[in-house]
Amino acid sequence: MTLQLDPQQAAARSWFESLRDRICAAFEAIEAEAGSDARFQYMPWNRDGDPDAMGGGGVQGLMKGKVFEKVGVNVSTVGGAFSPEFAKTIHGAGEENPGFFATGISLVAHMANPHVPAVHMNTRFLNTTKRWFGGGADLNPPIPYEEDTTAFHDRLKMACDRHGGDYYERFRKWADDYFWIPHRQVHRGVGGIFYDHLDCEGEAGFEANFAFTRDVGDAFLDIFPRIVRARMNMAASDEDRRHMLNFRGRYAEFNLVYDRGTLFGLKTGGNIDAILMSLPPVATWE
C-alpha cells in the first residue's frame, strides 16, 4: 500500500515527474555534445525508510559529468504529520491539524566551467488545511555576465506576465530578499523569482496556480540550457577555478543555514542525500 493521492495531488506529482524527465534528457544531451557519456543515476527512497511507502517517498537523480560537475534533480511526494513545534511555522498547519502532503521537484546544478552559472530551481504543491503552490528559479554565476542575467530574468518575466501583471516584480523582489546571506551581507547570486503560498481556493484557483507553476518550469527548461551552451567551452584559468570554489562556499553557507527547503526536508523524514544534494562537490573557504 502506498500514499493515496486525490486528483489534484496526482496531477501535480505527474507534472513534476514529467518535468524531471525532460530536464534530465536536456542535460544529458549537453553532456553528449561535450563528448561525455555521463548519465543520471536514479535512487528511489521511501519516507522514514518505510518499506510500504505509506508516507510516500521520491527519487534522487544525480549526474556528474564533463559540463555538469554535479547536478541533482529530485522529485518527492510525501505525506504525514508535522511535529507540534514545526507545525506552527507552516502555512495552514497547527497543533489541531498537523497533517501535510507535499509533492515537488528540486534541482541544483554546479558546473565544471567557472564561466557557466550554477543554478537552482524548484516548484512544489503543498497541502495542510490549505493548498498552495510555491517555487522559483535563481541564477548563481561565480563570474556574472550581464547578458546571461538579462536573458534569465527576461524569460522568467515572460512566464510571469502571462499570469499577473505584478508577478515578476513581486517575485523578483521576493527572490532578492530570500536569497540573501545576512552574515556575509551579499546575495547568493543574481536572483530570479521566488513565490510561495499561492493559495488554491476551489478548482479554478488550483488550475490557475498550477498553470503558472508549469510555465515557470518550462521557462527554466527553455533558458538555462541555452546559457550553458553559450559558456561551456570558454577557457578558464586557475584563478577562475579558485574564484568559483570560494563562491561555492557562500552557496553552501546559505543552504545549510538559511534555506527553508533544507529544513523542511530534515523535519519531515526526507532522504538525507537528496536533501543535501544542493551542496557543491568541492568548495573552499580562504
> In the predicted model, is pLDDT for residue 268 greater than 70?
yes
Confidence (pLDDT) at 99: 92
Confidence (pLDDT) at 216: 98
> In the predicted model, is pLDDT for residue 50 greater than 70?
no
DSSP state of 66: S
> In the predicted model, is pLDDT for residue 153 greater than 50?
yes
How confident is the model over 176-182, as a mean pLDDT? 97
Could you give the strand order of the β-sheet that contains 131-140, starting from the edge strand earlier in sequence? 41-46, 56-63, 68-81, 99-111, 118-127, 131-140, 191-199
For 159-168, how does the pLDDT look when each residue is reduced to its tens digit (9 = 90+)?
A: 999 999 999 9
For 74-117, how does the pLDDT look when each residue is reduced to its tens digit (9 = 90+)?
A: 999 999 998 888 888 898 998 788 999 999 999 999 999 999 99
Residue, of 260 and 225, whose pLDDT is higher:
225
How confident is the model over 250-276, as a mean pLDDT? 88
How confident is the model over 47-56, as a mean pLDDT? 72
Confidence (pLDDT) at 111: 98
Confidence (pLDDT) at 106: 97
The three cell numbers locating residue 215: 510555465
How confident is the model over 153-160, as a mean pLDDT? 98
Confidence (pLDDT) at 101: 95
Q: For the chain, give every domain's residue range.
A: 8-278
> In the predicted model, is pLDDT for residue 1 greater than 50?
no
Contact in structure between 98 and 87 (CB atoms under 8 Å): yes
Q: State yes or no: is 187 an active-site residue.
A: no
Choosing from 120, 153, 197, 243, the catalytic residue is 120
Q: Thinking of the domain 8-278, which architecture would CATH place it in?
A: 3-Layer(aba) Sandwich (3.40)
| φ/ψ (deg, to 5) at 183 | -75, -15
DSSP state of 117: P
For 89, 193, 218, 256, the CA distances from 120, given in Å and listed in that order, are: 24, 11, 14, 15
Mean pLDDT taken over the chain: 94
Q: Residue 115: name the closest of 13, 194, 232 by CA.
A: 232
Confidence of residue 242 (pLDDT cuts 50, 70, 90): very high
Amino acid at 225: P
> In the predicted model, is pLDDT for residue 283 greater than 50?
yes
> In the predicted model, is pLDDT for residue 52 greater than 80?
no
Contact in structure between 66 and 221 (CB atoms under 8 Å): no
Confidence (pLDDT) at 22: 98
